[in-house]
């Protein structure tokens, strides 16, 4: 297969995690403005392209360490964020049933939160960079770097689409904050489990 076409195949495969994450953010934080939306999509795309590049540059010397821990880091971060998103609104729902809850307010996502999400979602891609040269079968070094650039751009576009898709689904739920947070948290926990199982060799 042509190296450039294979780069797009890699990019589409790696961007699926970004899509799930960005749909979640759009669902839970529908008031995210254009600036923050582009920052989030840019962060997810950048990290999705950057981490494989870092893995490629580190090379085989660090491959065992990367293979052993990258999926665990992503799993812990995503599950921690996801559980927080599930537990807090669940408590609010329980309070509402007892008539003790305050009126729900829309929550906002901060730039540091976006950066943590980007790292958690993309760190498992470190190992991809180690094997890119073999899979791409590049005849020139620049082709490797073009591959990482393609991954970043495709992930950015997919993430942006996911964010606006999530906002659309939020309107279906008519802005029910607790419901959307629980759904979003569940997606992040499942994404973390998927990354872990894939890293342990049970999937993919």
Spatial separation of the C-alpha atoms in residues 190 and 204, rounded to whole Å = 15
Task: Tell me the two tokens of residue 134.
Answer: 């073999």
pTM listed for this prediction: 0.76
Task: Mention every residue, 6+ apart, whose C-beta is less than 8 A from residue 173.
Answer: 27, 179, 180
Give the pLDDT of the chain (204 residues) as one tens digit per residue: 577 887 888 788 888 888 988 998 998 888 888 999 999 999 999 999 998 888 888 765 666 666 677 778 778 888 888 888 788 777 766 766 766 545 555 678 899 999 999 998 888 777 777 666 666 655 667 788 888 899 999 999 999 999 999 988 888 876 576 777 788 788 888 888 887 887 788 865
Task: Tell me the two tokens of residue 166.
Answer: 């999530």
């Amino acid at each position: 297969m042509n190296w450039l076409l294979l780069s797009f195949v890699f990019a589409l495969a790696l961007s699926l995690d970004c899509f799930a994450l960005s749909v979640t953010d759009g669902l839970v934080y529908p008031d995210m403005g254009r600036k923050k939306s582009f920052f989030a999509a840019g962060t997810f795309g950048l990290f999705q392209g950057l981490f494989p590049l870092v893995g490629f540059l580190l090379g085989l010397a660090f491959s065992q360490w990367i293979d052993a821990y990258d999926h665990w880091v992503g799993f812990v971060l995503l599950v921690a964020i996801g559980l927080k998103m599930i537990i807090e609104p669940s408590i609010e729902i329980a309070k509402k049933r007892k008539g003790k809850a305050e009126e729900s307010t829309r929550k906002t996502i901060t730039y540091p939160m976006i950066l943590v999400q980007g790292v958690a979602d993309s760190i498992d891609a470190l190992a991809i960079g180690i094997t890119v040269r073999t899979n791409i079968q590049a005849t020139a070094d620049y082709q490797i770097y073009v591959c990482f650039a393609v991954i970043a751009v495709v992930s950015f576009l997919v993430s942006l689409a996911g964010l606006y898709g999530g906002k659309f689904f939020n309107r279906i739920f008519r802005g029910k904050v607790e419901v959307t947070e629980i759904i979003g948290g569940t997606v992040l926990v499942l994404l973390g489990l998927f990354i872990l199982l894939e890293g342990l060799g049970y999937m993919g």
